[in-house]
């Protein structure tokens, strides 16, 4: 195990130094993480031949991360995904948050969301702890909040993210990480041939604007069914209303048997590689986004990114759960601290 640290740049807004931490295990797996946006900038995982491949999309320097419209690799907070109408009511008070997408809120805030913030850092042996604070009312969210996420690399080829959040007022807390994976490598082209399995017999369909309708529907007999491993591209273009709305897969799946303990939620393989990624989480939902709107952008080492060249598996409370009584409760405060863990594990099959 080793951790090294290097200067990555200076944040143009706060003038704070941005560092990149490399956490490496005995097998050569290495996660490179920025204290800017909590970004997983590189993730090198060993293949059967022990050669490592970088399986996450990202950029070579800080500049493209200042806006990062696709949220490549970033920590999202305090609330991930969408809140309908960009408002919610807690304890009788209505809160208005930024309406930054079609009158709704997406990923908290473009200017102050956690994906564009500089975190404080504490180094461990095989981990780093990134932490920051928000004041009551920041981005419209109630509560003085303390947020931390610990990134841990283990000798079992896992990258583990442990989240902890406290707030002195009831508020909505739903952080995630927005890495895009391509198991052939960050410049590996389309992920439509990747094979996905989800431990989910239901999903939460959306209406226009990708706001959940509130229903929890079975996937059986629909293109949303990944209960048996299936090529992502097989039905992504199907004439199915939900896929038209999301431009492909961009939905929350309801993890079967979620009970707050780490559960296997997803498994991905890529043909022609021996690589498998498993995602474990304590959370009740997982957003599978097929990268439908990545757009053309230059990635690391001159890679030409395009739609669907990476896939995101964002563990979370269900989108808009603050406005849906039947969804698991994402309100946390003095009486309920937020704790969650997500593990990305890599193995060779």
Which residues are catalytically annotated? 178, 314
342 is a contact residue toward ligand GLA (CB under 6 A): no
Quick one: CA torsion of 57, 61, 66, 71, rounded to 10 degrees?
Answer: 10
287 binding ligand GLA? (CB under 6 A): yes
Smallest separation (angstroms) from ligand GLA to the CB of 210: 6
Residue 289 lies near ligand GLA (rule: CB under 6 A): yes
CA 195 – CA 229 distance, rounded (Å): 6
Question: Are residues 156 and 270 in contact, defined by beta-carbon separation less than 8 angstroms?
Answer: no
- Yes or no: say if 200 and 316 are a contact pair by the CB < 8 Å rule: no
> CB under 6 A: which stretch of 50-58, 237-245, 253-261, 287-295 binds ligand GLA?
287-295
**28 is written with which tokens?**
């050569």
Q: What is the smallest separation between the CB atom of 43 and ligand GLA, expressed in angstroms?
A: 18
Applying CB under 6 A, which part among 47-55, 213-221, 261-269, 285-293 lies near ligand GLA? 285-293
* Cα 251 from Cα 135, distance rounded (Å): 31
Distances (CA, A) of 324 to 76, 89, 227, 318: 21, 11, 25, 9
For ligand GLA, the closer of residues 127 and 174 by Cβ is 174
The separation between the first and the last C-alpha atoms of the chain, rounded to the nearest angstrom, is 24
Which x/- pattern, by CB under 6 A, does the window 185-224 give for ligand GLA? -------------------------x--------------
Q: What is the DSSP string of 63-123?
A: GGGTT-TT-TTEEE-SB-SEEGGGEEEETTEEEE----BTTBEESS-TTTSGGG-BPEEEE
By beta-carbon proximity to ligand GLA, the closer residue of 70 and 175 is 70
Q: Write each residue from 122 to 161 as x if it is in contact with ligand GLA (CB under 6 A), else as -, in one continuous string.
A: ----------------------------------------
Beta bridge partners of 341: 162
Q: Does 71 bind ligand GLA (CB under 6 A)?
A: yes
Contacts (Cβ under 8 Å, ≥6 apart) of 301: 60, 187
CB nearer to ligand GLA: give 28 or 209.
209
Give how many residues touch ligand GLA by CB under 6 A: 11
Q: Is 81 in the site for ligand GLA (CB under 6 A)?
A: yes
Least distance between ligand GLA and beta carbon 70 (Å): 5
Pairing of strands 87-90, 93-96: antiparallel
Residue 57 CB, shortest distance to ligand GLA, in Å, is 11
Among 29, 55, 56, 106, the residue binding ligand GLA under the rule CB under 6 A is 106
Smallest CA-to-CA distance from 37 within 74, 62, 80, 81 is with: 74
250 in contact with ligand GLA (CB under 6 A): yes
Collapse the DSSP code of 127 into the 3-class scheme (helix H, G, I; strand E, B; otherwise coil) and give the result. Answer: strand
Closer of 115 and 267 to ligand GLA (Cβ): 115
> Which of positions 291-310 make contact with ligand GLA (CB under 6 A)?
293
CB of 235 to ligand GLA, least distance (A): 19
* Residues in contact with ligand GLA by the rule CB under 6 A: 70-71, 81, 106, 210, 250, 287, 289, 293, 312, 314
């Amino acid at each position: 195990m080793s951790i090294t640290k290097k200067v990555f740049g200076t944040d143009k807004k706060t003038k704070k130094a941005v560092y990149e931490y490399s956490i490496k295990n005995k097998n050569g797996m290495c996660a490179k993480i920025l204290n800017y946006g909590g970004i997983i900038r590189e993730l090198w995982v060993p293949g059967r031949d022990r050669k490592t491949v970088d399986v996450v999309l990202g950029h070579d320097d800080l500049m493209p991360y200042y806006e990062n419209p696709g949220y490549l690799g970033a920590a999202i907070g305090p609330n991930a995904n969408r809140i309908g109408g960009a408002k919610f009511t807690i304890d009788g008070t209505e809160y208005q948050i930024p309406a930054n997408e079609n009158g709704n809120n997406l990923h908290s805030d473009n200017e102050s969301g956690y994906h564009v913030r500089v975190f404080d850092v504490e180094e461990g042996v095989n981990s780093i702890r990134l932490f920051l604070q928000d004041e009551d009312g920041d981005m419209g969210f109630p509560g003085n909040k303390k947020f931390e996420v610990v990134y841990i690399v283990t000798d079992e080829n896992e990258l583990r993210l442990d989240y902890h959040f406290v707030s002195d007022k009831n508020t909505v807390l739903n952080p995630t990480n927005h890495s895009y994976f391509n198991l052939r490598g960050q410049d590996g082209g389309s992920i439509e041939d990747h094979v996905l399995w989800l431990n989910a017999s239901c999903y939460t369909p959306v209406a226009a604007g990708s706001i959940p309708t509130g229903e929890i529907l079975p996937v059986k007999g629909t293109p949303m069914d990944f209960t048996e491993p299936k090529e992502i591209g097989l039905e992504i273009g199907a004439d199915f209303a939900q896929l038209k709305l999301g431009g492909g897969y961009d939905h929350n799946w309801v993890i079967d048997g979620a009970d707050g303990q780490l559960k296997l939620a997803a498994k991905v393989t890529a043909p022609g590689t021996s690589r498998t990624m498993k995602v474990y989480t304590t959370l009740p939902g997982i957003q599978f986004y097929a990268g439908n709107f990545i757009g053309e952008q230059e990635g690391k080492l001159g890679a030409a990114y395009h739609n669907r060249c990476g896939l995101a598996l964002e563990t979370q409370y269900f989108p808009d759960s603050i406005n849906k009584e039947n969804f698991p409760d994402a309100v946390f405060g003095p009486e309920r601290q937020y704790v969650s863990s997500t593990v990305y594990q890599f193995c060779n099959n």
